[in-house]
Structure 1
Amino acid sequence: MADTHRIHFEPVDIEMDVDEDEKILDAAFRQGIHLMHGCREGQCSACKSYVLDGEIQMDRYSTFACNDSEVEEGYVLLCRAHSYSDCTIELLNFDKDELLGGVPIQNVRARVLAIEPVTRDIVSLVLRPLEPEIFEFKAGQYADITIPGTEDHRSFSMATAPATSDRVQFLVKKYPGGVFSGLLDGGLTVGDEVHLNGPYGSSTLKEGHVLPVVCIGGGAGMAPILSLLRHMSDTGDPRPVRFYYGARTAADLFYLDEIRDFANTLRDFVFVPCLSENSDSLPDGVTGVETGMVPDVVGARESELHRCETYLCGPPPMVDATLDLLESRGVPKDQIFYDKFTSPTFE
């Protein structure tokens, strides 16, 4: 049996136990402590922290997330880190509201309710939780879905709002040769059972915040944005919202009727479809279409980004380009929310 050690986090003054054979981030989730995280695979640096005292070793990780000189100085990635003594760790990034107020991680057995294409390469997957019967999460979070017959998983954001407790919707982009997305062409059918683990992610609406909201999405990144918008609609959130969604052509736009209806339930809502290719024909009722890449459209239309909260989800190049835009506009980091999916889970 692995030895157990005590971890003390600064500057938040929180303590927890961790077994030597579990990663520090996983131990935190197990004990209801929601540390800042992203890919959970040692590739994105969201959980990078500094060891003030104690012995820690890391499993394999990307040197882009934590380079050799940083490791020598004492920096670690908590999603890769194992503790071999009592330790004191300084958290470099944390959200006081989430640390002890997040939703506990759950293992959920679920049944497939529906598998429906919404575009040529995006599929809606709807699951019903069986055990437990309710999957709790916050709008904007994601979950791991285990690939049947394996121990591997893929991460997908929930598209449903937390109030929709009897079902959970995911939007899955189909990639050529994709292991999970390939199952949606007959390998997974209505009535099959799958397992979820989550929720994860910190790209959630913060209680009591009043700044206008700018949502920026592309492809299957529609999912967490939809969850946020549905939740804001359910709760009567009064903040203004602009939603920029990037697609290649008009044929790649979907859920347009529901998105238009948010103008009736949100106080001040604007939807801007951004098409990277010119389109001669648009679906009925679609207006305000811009031609160009999403970050360029956002940059041209939004002059007060530093006075907004921004929520991002989409292909990594789109997210990276948008982050560059936000940095150039002086948007404070605590007003930017996103979960960076890396290639093993972005499928």
Structure 2
Amino acid sequence: MSDTHRVRFEPVDVEIEVTEDETVLDAAFRQGVNLMHGCKEGQCSACKSFLLDGDVQMGRYSTFALADYESDEGYILLCRAHAFSDLSVELVNYDEDMIRSGLPVRTIESTVVETEDLTHDITRLRLDITGSPDFMFHPGQYVDITIPGSSEHRSFSMANISAAEGYLEFIIKKYPGGRFSGLLEDGLRPDDPLTVTGPYGAFTLRVSSDRRIVFIGGGAGMAPILSLLRQLATKNSEREVVFYYGARAPRDLFYVDEILQTGASIPGFTFVPCLSDSMPENSDDIGHPVENGLVTDIVDRRETDIASCDVYLCGPPPMIDAALPRLESSGVPKEQIFYDKFTITAAAES
């Protein structure tokens, strides 16, 4: 049995217990402390922190996430750090409200309710979780779903707003040769079991802010944004909200009616679908005006004061990589930008 140590996080004055055979991040998840994180695999740097005192051993990680010189200076990745003494850790990226509102990560069994094709390459998956009434998540979070017959998993964000509804709803992009995509094409049937672990993620609504909200999404990044929109609608929020959704062609747009119906309960809501490749011959075919161009270009053109907004990004990694430097050059403070960045493997089906 491995030894147990204490980890103290500064400057938030939070302590957890951690065993030597689990990472610091996993120990935090287990105890409901929601530290900033992304891939959980040593690839993205979201959990990078500074070791003030103590002895850690690091598992394998990418030097893109933690450069050698940063490691030499004392920086660590919490998702790869194992404690071998009591630790004092300074968090680099954190949101104190988020940390203290964390939910314990749990592994539960679910069953498939249904799958439905929303476009030629995007499918809705609904899982029954009525057998796990204590499971909870915050709107905008995600879970890992284990691929049956393996130890691998894929990460997917929930599109609904509460586990109390008795189900989890996912919007999943299908990729040729994808292991989970293949199950969606021909494999999953109603009542099939799937193991779910979570919740994870910091893509949650900062309710203490009254700033205007800019959502920027693409592909299956629709899921957590729709979850947050539904949350805003049910809470009768008075914050102004605009949702930019990027797609290639009219056939890639979906849930337009659902978005407009949900947005009708949010004063000042605007939906801006953006098509990069081809436009519809008649916008009536979509039922809503459409902009032509890359979603990041259209945001640049329309948002003249984005630095005063809270910006939520979710979509393919190239979209996020393109948007982040543009937001920085527009003066948006880092603490007003929220996104979950997965590794390529996870992002390929999330």
TM-score by length of 2: 0.96
Q: What's the counterpart of residue 260 of structure 2?
A: 260
> Which residue in 2 is equivalent to 1:298?
299
Mapping for residues 64-103 of structure 1, pairs under 5 Å? 64-103=64-103
SS of corresponding position for 1:168 = strand
- Identity level (%): 55
CA contact (8 A) 1:4 1:19 kept: yes
CA distance in 2, matches of 1:280, 1:222: 21
- When residues 41 and 229 of structure 1 are mapped into structure 2, their CA distance, relative to the original with a 3 A threshold, is same
Contact kept, 8 Å, 2:229 with 2:263, in 1: the verdict is no
Deviations 1:145-173 (A, max 9, x none): 11111121100010111276221100111
Task: Provide the rounded CA distance (Å) in 2 between the counterparts of 1:166 and 1:134.
Answer: 10
Aligned to 2:53: 53
Query: What are the Cα deviations for residues 157-211 of structure 1, in whole angstroms up to 9, with x where unaligned?
Result: 1011127622110011111110111111121111111111111111111123211
* Alignment correspondent of 1:112: 112
What amino acid is aligned across from residue 115 of structure 1 in structure 2?
T
Structure-2 residue corresponding to 1:183: 183
Give yes or no for the alignment of 1:336 onto 2:337.
yes
Contact 1:8 1:16 in 2 (8 A): yes
- Measure how far apart 1:336 and its partner are: 0.6
- 2-side partners of 1:134 and 1:27: how far apart? 20
| CA deviation after TM superposition for structure 1 residue 283, in Å | 5.3
Secondary structure at 1:175 match in 2: coil
Which 5+ residue runs of structure 1 have no aligned equivalent?
A: none
Say how many residue pairs are matched.
Answer: 347
> Counterparts of 1:48 and 1:314 in 2: how far apart (Å)?
22
The 8 Å contact of residues 108 and 130 in structure 1, kept in 2 or not, is answered as no
Structure 2 unaligned blocks of 5 or more: none
Alpha-carbon shift at residue 39 of structure 1 (Å)? 0.8
2:130/2:166 contact within 8 Å kept = no
Residues 287-307 of structure 1: per-residue CA shift (max 9 Å, x gap): 331111111000000011111
In terms of mean alpha carbon deviation, does 300-309 or 131-140 score higher? 131-140
Tell me the TM-score normalized by structure 1: 0.97
Q: Does 1:173 align with 2:173?
A: yes
Instruction: For residues 253-310 of structure 1, give each alpha carbon's deviation from its aligned partner in whole angstroms, at most 9, with x where no partner exists.
Output: 0011111213421111111111011224345353331111111000000011111111
CA displacement, residues 221-279 of structure 1 (integer Å, 9 cap, x when unaligned): 00001001111111111111100000010100001111121342111111111101122
CA distance in 2, matches of 1:207, 1:309: 11
Q: Secondary structure at the match of 1:131?
A: coil
Segments ≥4 residues shifted beyond 4 Å: none
- Residues 308, 251 of structure 1: alpha-carbon distance in 2 compared, 3 angstrom cutoff: same
Equivalent residues of 1:163, 1:231 under 8 A apart: no
2: CA distance between counterparts of 1:51 and 1:307? 33
- Retained in 1: the 8 A contact 2:136–2:163? no
**Structure 1 vs Structure 2 CA RMSD:** 1.3
Does the 8 Å CA contact 2:58/2:82 hold for their aligned counterparts? Answer: yes
Aligned pairs for 1:1-347 (under 5 A) are 1-133=1-133, 135-162=135-162, 165-281=165-281, 282=283, 284=285, 286-346=287-347, 347=349
